[in-house]
Chain A
């Protein structure tokens, strides 16, 4: 279960960006630090219950990614708390740490380590990963020699091998060709059947309707509505997207 309580995140947008000592010195002489406060998230609270697929929708810049980053521990919230009672795995992006100069095999281990797996544990999963990605023939090919679609498939397959009760997922569905997408869909239904808790951010309203049990809408950092997928998506298309 994920519990999000009164989360706010303020970014300070400086009027002048001081990146170097020199700028800082001259900038301080000219004007003291002036910045605007920007609320990326403003007092957001919600829960994701055990075994629930919760969808998060919102326009670009509405705070979805900031929210995921806070839950994942990447950002510190300005105020509020997040409680996560079980092991969580985050997929804000897949294929983190990939080195294009290295082979598929080496990248599987690098990415695996970032997801918390030792070399030994990855050895056991290695053939499954390449099989799912349909890249058995390319195990020792350098990543740059693979097409971008193949690279994404590899990344996605590694991600699929991670088993945790909670997943944070940021828009990783539109991957690969049609048959591969079908495989991914099957796997997600399998997760749903196993009762995994998933927080799912997407712009693809169809997949939100397909998988989610409940949906929250973010608008300019504020949680404006939560409820069943059909009613929230209807509200979202009518009220939020029309503005």
Chain B
């Protein structure tokens, strides 16, 4: 029980602060993940129910009612939904986490950015599982190629982007509680401004421009190129998209850390 010497040597340096942060990160992320599916008979399966229903409805509507001209539409739509749902979850979970963890911040000090990191990590667990399943579906029903491994680029890009936006929204949320409602509206509109059910390149011009300036849209274009169509977009396109996401992440991170001490006082 008495090992003060050990503690002294570890807390003293920065490395141990990071190490301790990882313990907290792990507990927060796993706790939230388990709480989400706690005491429900189907547990994790529920989290897949909603995207699958979304997929079935959209697939029906855009294959039979308003036919969109997208080759391999099934996989195109499915991959779009998996990625969009992560973006949806991760950006909202940051604000939820700020709200639910505010009371803990009054009682103990820990780096406040852990709140956002762990909320994103919780969303990331589902995202990683769903992406793996998506890949298995594509391999089973379509094809496999090594180019598909490049999907790690859009995968990491959307994680960075979602976390960066989550940092910014959470900072706003500290001061304005209706950031959440406004963001929900933005997400509803954003779903249709992002090439999830239609093809960005054959869409009418204004929509095409919006889809190409929308970072999520760019990520999806990359994703489908690797995953579904097996053709490479230009290097500039890939680098600029990844760079935008990285910049959003870094900017969001600094904004959040500048204001994070206010969580305790405002919430």
Contact = CB atoms under 8 A, between A and B. Distances in A.
A77 B94 CA distance: 27
Interface string B87-118: 00000000000000000111111100000000
A113 interface: yes
Contacts of B177: 19-20
B184 interface: no
A95 to B, nearest CB: 9
Interface in B177-196: 177-178, 182
A87 B109 CA distance: 13
Contact of A96 (B11, B107, B261): B107
A93 interface: yes
Contact of A86 (B2, B8, B24, B176): B8
B1 A161 contact: yes
A115 B4 CA distance: 14
Give the dominant DSSP class at B's interface.
helix
B265 A87 contact: no
B35 A101 contact: yes
A82 interface: no
Interface in A87-127: 87, 90, 92-93, 96-97, 99, 101-102, 109-110, 112-119, 125
A197 to B, nearest CB: 12
Interface stretch (A68-76, A210-218, A223-231): A68-76
A217 to B, nearest CB: 24
Given A20-B178, A22-B178, A116-B20, A74 B105 contact: yes
A163 interface: yes
A93 B104 CA distance: 10
A171 B74 CA distance: 61
Contacts of A21: 176, 178, 182
B7 interface: yes
Contact of B106 (A11, A74, A110): A74
B54 interface: no
B23 A118 contact: yes
Nearest to A122: B23
Q: How large is the interface on B (under 10, 10 to 19, 20 to 34, 35 or more residues)?
A: 20 to 34
A3 interface: no
B109 A74 contact: yes
Contacts of B2: 163
Q: How large is the interface on A (under 10, 10 to 19, 20 to 34, 35 or more residues)?
A: 35 or more
Given A87-B8, A163-B1, A93 B107 contact: yes
Contacts of A117: 23
A51 interface: no
B31 A102 contact: yes
Interface in B99-150: 104-110
A73 B106 CA distance: 10
A115 B107 CA distance: 11
B81 to A, nearest CB: 30
Contact of A20 (B7, B23, B108, B176): B176
B25 to A, nearest CB: 9
Nearest to A120: B23
Contact of A109 (B8, B27, B264): B27
Interface of B: 1-4, 7-8, 11-12, 19-20, 23-24, 26-27, 31, 34-35, 38-39, 104-110, 176-178, 182, 261, 264-265
Interface of A: 11, 19-22, 24, 69, 72-76, 86-87, 90, 92-93, 96-97, 99, 101-102, 109-110, 112-119, 125, 128, 161, 163-165
